[in-house]
Amino acid sequence: MRIGILTGGGDCQGINAVIRAAVKKAEDYGWDVIGIRYGWLGLLDGLFVPLKYEELDDIIGIGGTILGTSRVNPLRRKDGVKKIKENLKKMKIDAILAIGGDDTLSVAYELSKEGIPVVGAPKTIDNDLAATEYTFGFFTAVEIGTQAIDRILTTAKSHERVFVVEVMGRYAGWIALYSGLAGGAHYIVIPEQPLDLDAICKLIDERWKRGKKYAVIVVAEGVQIGEHELLYVKEVVDEFGNIKVGGIAHILADEIHRRTGKETRAVVLGHLMRGGSPIAFDRILATRFGLMAIELIKKGEFGKMPALTKFKIEPVPLSKAIAEMKTVPKELYDIAKTFFY
C-alpha cells in the first residue's frame, strides 16, 4: 500500500511529529509513504517527495512542517477534484492523510464524499476544532503567550504602563484565556464575550488608586470593538473565505489611553505563537494522532480523524469535526474573571 501525507493551512508546532509517527507506523506495515508538498496545491500540481523514517527519526522537536503548506482550496479550482484523482492514480497513492485545521479538513471531508480515501489529523493552535478536546500546537502557543506576559509584566511595572497583548486564535478565545490566566493578566478579552471598555478602564483606574500603577490586558485577535471591525481587519480573503485579522491591540491601547490618560502600549505576538519547538505534551499528542491515523487507513475507516477524548485517542467523523467552531464556554471565562483585579 502507498499513502500520501500533506499539511495544509497555518503551520504549528507538532506537525512534524505527526508525519514522523505516521511514516514509522506505515513502514511497520510495509507501506510506502509519499509526501505531498504545499498542502492541497501539491495534489493539484503533482508535487511529491518520498518519505522514509530513516530520514525523519529526529524531527519530532522541529517546528513548522517539512512538507511546506499553503491555503489553496482545490474545490475552488477548475477541475480540482478531477486533477487530484488523476495525480493520485498516477502516483499510485491508495489513501491520503491530511493534517490540518477546519479548512484543510473540510476539503478532506468533501473529497471523501467524492470517493477519495482520506483521513485527517486535527491541527490548529486555535484549539477551535469540534470533536477533540485539544489540538496539538495549542499548548505550545499558550506557553509562548504565558512567557510573553511574564516578560511584559516586568516592564509594565518598571515603567508604570498599561500593556495590551494580542494573541492569535482568530474567532475563538482559547489561547487568550489560557495564556492570560496562566500569565496573571489583569483582564482578558475574548471574542465569545462582549467587550466592555468601561470595565477595563475602571479596573485600570482602580489599580492606580491602590498604587498598582501597571496593568496587562490580553486580547484575542478576533475581538471586535463595536462597529469598527474594518479598522483592524485587513480585507484580504483567502480561498477558504477567511479574512486576515490582526491589530486589535493597537486600537484597544489607543482607546484605553484616550479614556484613562495612562500610557498604554500594544504588543502583537502574532506568528511568534506558531513557531519554534513543540512542548512535550504537543509532541506526544501529535504522535498519538499520527499513529491512529494510520490505523484508520489500515481498517479502511476513511472520512474520519483521531480525536482526544478523556485522555483517549478515538476516531470521529470529519463531518463532526468541522460541524461547528469550538468556542470558550462562559463558565471557563468566569474562572478568569475571578482574577480581573
What percentage of the chain has pLDDT greater than the value 90?
Answer: 92
Nearest Cα residue to 20 out of 115, 97, 75, 102: 97
Is it true that 2-136+278-321 and 138-275 share their CATH fold?
Answer: yes
The domain spans of the chain are: 2-136+278-321, 138-275
Backbone dihedral angles phi then psi of residue 71, each to the nearest 5 degrees: -110, 35
- 189-245 tens-digit pLDDT: 999 999 999 999 999 999 999 999 999 999 999 998 765 543 455 566 788 878 878
Mean pLDDT value across residues 92-107: 97
What's the whole-number mean pLDDT along residues 4-17? 97
Among this protein's residues, is 126 annotated catalytic? yes
Mean pLDDT of 116-144: 96
Collapsing DSSP to helix, strand or coil, 54 comes out as helix
Q: What is the pTM of this model?
A: 0.94
Indicate whether 173 pLDDT > 50: yes
Block residue for cell numbers 501597571: 214
Task: From the candidates 102, 126, 128, 282, give the one annotated as an active-site residue.
Answer: 126
Question: What tens digit of pLDDT does each residue of 319-338 get?
Answer: 999 999 999 999 999 999 99
Residue 133 has pLDDT above 90, yes or no: yes
pLDDT of residue 75: 94
Query: For position 227, what pLDDT does the model report?
Result: 58
Contact 103, 7 (CB under 8 A): no
Which pLDDT tens digit goes with each residue over 35-89? Answer: 999 999 999 999 999 999 999 999 999 999 999 999 999 999 999 999 999 999 9
CATH number for region 138-275: 3.40.50.460
In the CATH hierarchy, which top-level class contains the domain 2-136+278-321? alpha beta
Query: What is the per-residue pLDDT for 231?
Result: 44
Nearest to 4 by CA among 29, 34, 27: 34
pLDDT in tens, 254-264: 999 999 999 99
